[in-house]
A and B are shown apart, each in its own frame.
Chain A
Amino acid sequence: MAIDLKAVEQLAADQTSLKAAAGLAKPSRWSGVGASHDAALVWGECAGSGANPYRVMADLRDMGNKCTCPSRKFPCKHVLALFWLHAEAIVPFPAAETPAWVSEWLGRRRSGGTSPKPAVAVEKDVQAARLAEPEPVEDAAAVARRQAATAKRAEDTERAILDALDALEQWVSDQLRLGLAGFVDEVTIRCRRIGARLVDGKAAALAGHVDELPGRLLALPTGDRVRGATVELARLVLLARAFRADPRDPEVRRAVASAESREMLLGDTTNVPRITAAWEVLAEQVRTRRDGLVSQTTWLLNLSETGPRFAMLLDFFPASVGRRGSAFTPGEQFRGEFVFYPARMPLRAVLVQREAARADGPLLDWPVPATPLDEALTTPLLAEPWATERPLLLPSGRIGFDRSGASWWLPGDGAIMLPIAGEAAGLIAGVELTRTAALWSGNRLAMLAAYTPWGRVGHG
């Protein structure tokens, strides 16, 4: 079954889509490309503007298609690019076992009529889309003007943020004066107010952090909330002061204002660690936030000797986009290149490119945790004091239960017992955990995945 470029042209909603697809129909943007043995289905993963790659799939029998990107256009540019790759054989589509994420999409499809034709005949031309647009030529004066405007905007933003941080510190002082008991009782209302002020002051990332504070606080047992409030408010003060001390520090700026875009990150070749290694996908978390955004976080473990032990991919998209497919399968191992956002202990990253997941051959073992446990628990949180959680690798241990039924992680040897957030039920409560990857909040452990004599166990 083959399709030709004419079909791609007809499928596209407009010329813009075609142009965007042309830009994406390059081998470097794609990995894990394959086709079913009967050539009816094709699929692949495309590097988009987010940290996580998008999963793209299509049924060549009726041109049905799906992509996990948040675009509202149908078909999106990634789907068009996939068809383009196939039509012009730009990359090979090796026959392979259909991945679970494609089967699941097939199972959910409604009958026929999946691609609505555009109501108006739109002028579309594949050949025109292929031509790269010439760069607009700027004269020196225009460049200077543009740069000055950018600098002025940056200065204004910084001032706005500093003012907002002053208001934040005042607000924190007020909470201490009024009493933390009252703060805990009214945490949602009070945080909403200061959150709005932070948004006005262009401190968007910090506003998001404050928005989620009530959720984090109320997840703690009642008796622990005053301590929890102290920790949360202290973090705000630490971050505000770190920003005042050095507003240009990228890590602090990212936590207060906004993160660098993917282009900026990839464009910076000096400051930014690039690591190629073998990785295992630990887990993926999708959380709906109060501000209407959904965050998609993928946690990965570095199986090699060099580079940060963990990578975290983080994307946001509007809740209105609806249910999205995940980008990875927990437990899959692959070789890939990551670029890390600059930080004292780098963690957040974007995926540059990857090889297809290894289908055969033994899985690589998880590394032995090198640092002693108490150091592993404290050092990352001291390096990034405003972090709400950091991943860590635990040595051999087991789950235990206290008198009230709450679960704890107990080391095989050693004294530190760690309380677990939520319930630990099922297999993990009745087996030795040879190795565990978890998120530590400074206070509680949230398990991501573990290796046991029964094999790998995912959590959540």
Chain B
Amino acid sequence: MAEAILDALGQVLTRWTMGGSAAPAAPAEWRDKLGDDASEAELRLLALSGQFLGALAVIEPAGDVRIRPDIAALPRPPLPDTLRPRARRLLEQLREPTQRRHLLDFLDARGWTLHPSDWMPGPDEEVPEVYAAWQDWAVAETSGPAREALTTESWDGLRPAARLAAFTALRRRDPMQAGALLAEKISGETADIRVRLLEGLAIGLSDADRPLLEGLATDRAPRVKALATSLLARLGHDASGSEDTAELAGFFPVQTKGLLRRTRSIAPVVLKTPAQSNRRTALMEAVSFGAFAQALELPPADLVAAWPWGGDRLADHALAAMAARSGSDAIVDAVAEALTNGASVDPYSLAPLLPRLTSVQRRQTAVQVLRAKDGTFVQALAIAGGDGGIAEAMQTGAGGTLVSALKAEDVKPTDQSAELLALGLLASRPAAEQALEQLAAAGLIVSDPRLDMLRLNAALEHRSEFEGATT
């Protein structure tokens, strides 16, 4: 009977859509309820139809309805329930992608993940590898198993994020095999993926990778080409034009001082016009480190030693960027050392080197920043990210400055929130507890929202110690 009514209502609705009376088309079951008066009949039919359609009928889906697979449990557990509200508040505050990444890295370093109800990564978001399974789930209809060994056969079966994570892991374990696998499979990938895979190849780079890189140095995609070229340069095989290098060398004459020691130092030519400055910058972006050193007739390490660090910030930054693109690991270390040696640190010039520094190096550099004059936790955060392992945070100059600032007469309830957040992301667990004690003594109440990150830090156990993970 219900079917018959529903069918009849199709007619009724059609008539009302156009306008006009529908009572003549009413379902047979209802005809005698409508009465004799025409307009009354319409209203009664409306009441019955509306209630039938509104309360007793459900739409059916056209075609299949498919469920998604379960969201996988990640290799690391979610935060304990008691800490989730605080984490949610921090996620609210940290909307900007870099800041959010620091929080994710912090949790990852301690061995935890976020709960999927509080946050899940977008498909293209840069997130720690541990979330690979969730990224793939968000994109795909089906997702493969969370962890699978990467081989020629299994390559295509893995979804992109999982595959990238597996490749990076393989490269760390067995660089030769990873290199061979990549040589076989890379041409089948899109340009974006090729770049990401090539970035993974940078780990444990060696001359064995040279043939593959020389092939990719002629790739169609400009970013792949540029990255392959710079990786080759890091290995010492570069193709900078000799005219360019000679011209660049002209900007940086080498002098020899002293009769006995014969120390080399570089005295940059003073730039007179904007055109000159632009030209020099362009050259520094094009020429590789090895070629530059050769043109100056200096071994690369000596170039670093002879450079007048701190004299010309633009030049410092450009040289650091050059080292990051095309210098060997040893050169990168030497430049980082040179930039953090002095009494004050140059975060601007350090920035290009950061992707090539290990997390241990970044932490050490961050500590030096904190010790330097005017060093701040915010600067250190830009260098080390959500490290969560700096034990001496409060013993540094930056620590002392922060506490003093909070004790000041005219301090406002929202002052220093960026510094406190950065400190919370950088400090080790004991250092965070120490900081909370000192800040309480400086007058901050326990429930001050600026202390959210420090409190999360102090409450969060270091799970990674049980995993034996090294960073």
B-contacting residues, A396-421, CB 8 Å: 398-403, 406, 408, 410, 416-419
Interfacial chain B residues near A455, Cβ < 8 Å: 81, 115, 117
Whether the pair A385, B59 counts as a contact (CB closer than 8 A) is: no
Whether A230 pairs with B67 at a CB distance below 8 angstroms is no
Asked whether A234 lies within 8 Å of B448 as measured between CB atoms, the reply is: no
- When distances are taken between beta carbons in the complex, the residues of chain A under 8 Å from B313 are none
Q: Which of B16-24, B334-342, B361-369 contacts A (4 or more CB under 8 A)?
A: B16-24
Decide if A418 touches B447 in the complex (CB within 8 Å).
no
Interface residues in A87-138 (C-beta closer than 8 Å to B): 98, 100, 102-104, 106-107, 109-112
Is A176 interfacial (CB-CB < 8 Å)?
A: yes
**Taking the complex as formed, is A3 at the interface, i.e. its CB lies under 8 A from any CB of chain B?**
no
Q: Which residue of B lies closest to A36 (CB)?
A: B447
Q: Which residues of A contact B449 (CB under 8 A)?
A: 103-104, 106-107
Q: Are A226 and B17 in contact (CB under 8 A)?
A: yes
Determine if B286 is an interface residue (Cβ-Cβ < 8 Å).
Answer: no
A202: min CB distance to chain B, Å:
23
For the complex, is B273 an interface residue (Cβ under 8 Å from A)?
no
Q: A182-B19, A403-B64 are in contact. Are A231 and B54 (CB under 8 A)?
A: yes
* B120 interface neighbour in A112, A226, A378, A427, Cβ under 8 Å: A427
A173-B39, A238-B51 given as contacts; is B413 within 8 A of A111 (CB)?
yes
Complex Cα–Cα for A22 and B17 (A):
61
Q: How far is the CA of A143 from the CA of B439 in the complex (A)?
A: 66
- Which of B22, B61, B68, B414 contacts A417 (CB under 8 A)? B61
**By the criterion CB–CB under 8 Å, are B19 and A176 in contact?**
yes
Write the A218-260 contact mask toward B (1 if CB under 8 angstroms, else 0): 0000001011001111110110010000000000000000000
Give the chain A neighbours of B448 by CB distance below 8 A: 106
CB–CB A169/B43 < 8 A: yes
Contacts of A173 in B (CB 8 A): 39, 42-43
**Residue in A36, A172, A400, A457 whose beta carbon sits within 8 Å of that of B446 in the complex:** A36
A442 touches B55 (CB 8 A): yes
Q: Is B168 an interface residue (CB 8 A)?
A: no
| Residue pair B64, A237 in contact (C-beta under 8 Å) | no
* Stretch from A37-45, A75-83, A301-309 that touches the partner: A37-45
* B60 located at the interface, meaning its Cβ lies under 8 Å from any Cβ of chain A in the complex: yes
For B85, list chain A residues within 8 Å (CB): 100
Contact call A177/B20, Cβ cutoff below 8 A: yes
From B13, B65, B117, contact of A454 by CB (8 A): B117
Give the docked Cα–Cα distance between A172 and B178 (Å). 73
Q: Does A178 contact B (CB under 8 A)?
A: yes
Distance between B10 CB and nearest chain A CB, rounded to angstroms = 10
**A378 partner, pick from B56, B115, B116, beta carbons under 8 A:** B56
Taking the complex as formed, is A426 at the interface, i.e. its CB lies under 8 A from any CB of chain B? Answer: yes
Are A401 and B49 CB-contacts (below 8 A) given A173-B42, A179-B19, A419-B59? no
**Which of B50, B61, B70 meets A231, CB within 8 Å?**
B50
| Cβ-defined contact, A402 with B16, below 8 A | no
**Given contacts A102-B447, A402-B62, A457 and B49 within 8 Å (CB-CB):** no
Contact A103 B447, beta carbon cutoff 8 Å: yes
| Residue of chain A at shortest CB distance from B452 | A103
Q: Assess whether B47 is in contact with A401, with CB atoms less than 8 Å apart.
A: no
Binding site for A on B (CB under 8 A): 13, 16-22, 39, 42-43, 46-51, 53-56, 58-71, 81, 85, 89, 115-117, 120, 137, 412-414, 445-450
Question: 19 new A-B pairs (CB below 8 Å) besides A103-B449, A173-B43, A377-B58?
Answer: A41-B445, A100-B85, A104-B449, A107-B449, A111-B414, A179-B17, A180-B16, A227-B13, A237-B46, A238-B51, A378-B55, A382-B55, A400-B65, A401-B65, A402-B62, A403-B62, A417-B58, A454-B117, A457-B117
14 sample A-B contacts, Cβ–Cβ < 8 Å, listed by A number: A36-B445, A102-B447, A173-B43, A181-B19, A227-B53, A234-B49, A234-B51, A238-B51, A400-B66, A401-B68, A418-B58, A419-B61, A454-B117, A458-B117
